[in-house]
């Protein structure tokens, strides 16, 4: 019975490049979980570890025609370098190095975030339409999660508590999407990420309220 369940779990990987895909996906899953733990603890290692994970997922999502998620992971990679730089070298008005504090979003932050979400969704729709992929439910969900994750990554780079809300919503939507596309391990990963994102929200909220 156990072997049968394992075979069902691994059935999407039973093709020519299945072993390579499984190894890459497993590596990306482990690194993603590690990066979330570091994010919860406000540790800058979230970025170098996350960069390796997003590069792997950029490849996996592209070969699986998940173009929205491919864009997300390219964006993650770029924003990770940006966030890494900001967390290390942000300076105040006197040109002195200072660490970014965890804070709540202002009205300006909300405006910028939702503008980014809207623009990203529109751009993703155009991309899907161009490639003739805008045909089913999963395509629309991929577009929506693209906008959500773009917004969450932007807020995370600025250390806003609300970034975790975007991760919670986006991860919940992504669970059935990745199962449907045959990335079983990643589907399981997103279930874990929902839990970690909820924990992260309360950890960051507590830290922000202390300031």
Distance CA 79, CA 58 (A): 14
pLDDT of the residue at 204 = 94
Residue 95 lies in a domain: no
- Of 32-36, 61-65, 89-93, which one has max mean pLDDT? 32-36
Residue 132 lies in a domain: yes
- Residue 116 CA, distance from chain mean position: 15
* Nearest partner of 147 among 125, 164, 128, 130, judged by Cα: 125
β-partners of residue 188 are none
Residue 180 lies in a domain: yes
pTM: 0.77
The residue segments making up the domain with residue 28 are 2-90+102-209
pLDDT tens string 182-192 = 777 778 888 99
- pLDDT band for 95, please (50, 70, 90 cuts): low
- pLDDT band for 16, please (50, 70, 90 cuts): very low
Residue 97 lies in a domain: no
Residue 50 lies in a domain: yes
What count of other Cβ atoms lies within 10 Å of the Cβ of residue 126?
12
pLDDT of the residue at 126 = 86
pLDDT tens string 27-36 = 988 998 999 9
Q: What's the domain count of the chain? A: 1
pLDDT of the residue at 14 = 47
Rg (CA), the chain: 18
- Of 57-66, 83-92, 151-160, 162-171, which one has max mean pLDDT? 162-171
Residue 134 lies in a domain: yes
Q: Who contacts 117 (Cβ-Cβ below 8 Å, separation ≥6)?
A: 147, 148, 150, 151
Residue 171 lies in a domain: yes
pLDDT tens string 100-112 = 789 999 999 999 9
Which of 77-86, 120-129, 134-143 has the weakest average pLDDT? 134-143
Residue 64 lies in a domain: yes
């Amino acid at each position: 019975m156990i072997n049968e369940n394992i075979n069902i779990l691994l059935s999407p990987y039973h093709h020519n490049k299945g072993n390579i895909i499984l190894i890459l996906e497993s590596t990306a899953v482990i690194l993603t979980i590690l990066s979330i733990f570091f994010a919860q603890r406000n540790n800058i290692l979230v970025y170098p570890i996350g960069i390796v994970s997003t590069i792997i997922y950029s490849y996996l999502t592209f070969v699986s025609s998940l173009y929205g998620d491919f864009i997300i992971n390219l964006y993650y990679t770029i924003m990770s370098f940006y966030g890494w730089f900001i967390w290390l070298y942000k300076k105040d008005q006197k040109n002195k190095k200072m660490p970014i504090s965890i804070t709540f979003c202002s009205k300006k932050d909300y405006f910028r975030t939702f503008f980014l979400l809207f623009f990203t969704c529109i751009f993703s729709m155009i991309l899907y339409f161009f490639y003739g992929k805008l045909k089913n439910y999963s395509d629309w969900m991929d577009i929506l999660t693209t906008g959500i994750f773009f917004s969450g990554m932007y807020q995370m780079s600025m250390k806003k508590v609300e970034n975790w809300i975007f991760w919670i919503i986006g991860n919940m939507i992504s669970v059935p999407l990745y199962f449907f596309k045959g990335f079983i391990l990643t589907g399981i990963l997103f279930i874990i990420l929902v839990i970690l994102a909820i924990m992260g929200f309360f950890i960051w909220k507590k830290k922000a309220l202390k300031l």
